[in-house]
Amino acid sequence: MGSLFLLGLIVFWDTARTELPAFNLTVSPKVFPYAIAALLMGLSALLFVQILRGDLAIPEGLEAGDPIKNSDYKTFGIVMASLLSFLLLIERAGFIIAASITFFGITVAFDNKKHVRAAIFGTLFITVIYLSFTHFLHVQLPAGILKGL
């Protein structure tokens, strides 16, 4: 039932979003968004009917009929937090700090017990990547607060 409700939400979300192209005013660039909006709405209605008829979504890697377990919110949450920290830190603190924190966060999420080792290895790994990109490949990455070191 949980997955059914969530799928309903997605359908709703899809449908809500499809109204957006109505903001367009000129005639010609509107044709395509309208067509796509109509397609999306039609499809979500069809999917809704399919779900009502009992055709539930099968998560990837499972076979039809496999029990669907509750999601692991803690692991998921830490991964999300690590991603967001990169977004917040990349331009403020620089690549090395942002990426090292993301790296470390994800090792924590995936249940790595040796935190100190992961932190040291992660930082070293990220520093090597940073140096090889900026020096050998000439791809600019923000140095951030470590600038000048």
Partner 1 sequence: MDNVNSLIDGFASALTLSNLGFGLLGTFLGTLVGVLPGIGPALAIALLLPITYTVSPASALIMFAAIYYGAMYGGSTTSILLNTPGESGSVITALEGNKMARNGRAGAALATAAIGSFVAGTIATLILAFTAPTIADMAIKVGAADYVALMLVAFTTVSSLLGASQIRGFISLAVGLVLGLVGADLQSGLSRLTFGNQAAVEGIETVPVIVSIFALGEALYIASRFKELGWNIIPMKGKALMSRDDWKRSWKPWLRGTALGFPLGVIPAGGSEVPTFLSYSVEKKLSKNPEEFGHGAIEGVAGPEAANNANAAGALVPLLALGLPTSATAAVILVAFQTYQIQPGPTLFLTNGALIWTLIASLFIGNTLLLILNLPLVRVWVQLLKVPRPYLFAGIVTFAMLGAYALNTSIFDVQVAIAIGIVGFLFRRFGMPITPLILGLILGPNLELQFRRALQISAGDYGTLWASPLSKVLYAVLIIALFTPIITRFMKRVRKDAHA
Binding residues among 22-51 for partner 1 as defined by CB under 8 A? 24-26, 28-29, 32-33, 36, 39-40, 43-44, 46-47, 50
State which residue, 85 or 149, has the beta carbon closest to partner 1.
Answer: 85
Which residues are within 8 A (CB) of 133 and not within 5 positions of it... i.e. 6 or more apart?
A: 139, 141
Give residues 63-82 in contact with partner 1 (rule: CB under 8 A): 69, 71-73, 75-76, 78-80, 82
Among 52, 131, 139, 145, indicate the residue that binds partner 1 (CB under 8 A): 139
Write the DSSP string, 30-74.
Answer: HHHHHHHHHHHHHHHHHHHHHHHTT-----TT--TT---PPP-HH
Q: Does 141 bind partner 1 (CB under 8 A)?
A: yes
Nearest distance from residue 64's CB to partner 1, in Å? Answer: 8
State which residue, 27 or 149, has the beta carbon closest to partner 1.
Answer: 27
Give residues 80-109 in contact with partner 1 (rule: CB under 8 A): 80, 82-84, 86-87, 90-91, 95, 99, 102-109
- Report how far residue 119's alpha carbon sits from residue 99's, in angstroms, rounded to the nearest whole number: 11
Q: Does 146 bind partner 1 (CB under 8 A)?
A: no
- Report how far residue 105's alpha carbon sits from residue 63's, in angstroms, rounded to the nearest whole number: 31
- Report how far residue 143's alpha carbon sits from residue 93's, in angstroms, rounded to the nearest whole number: 8
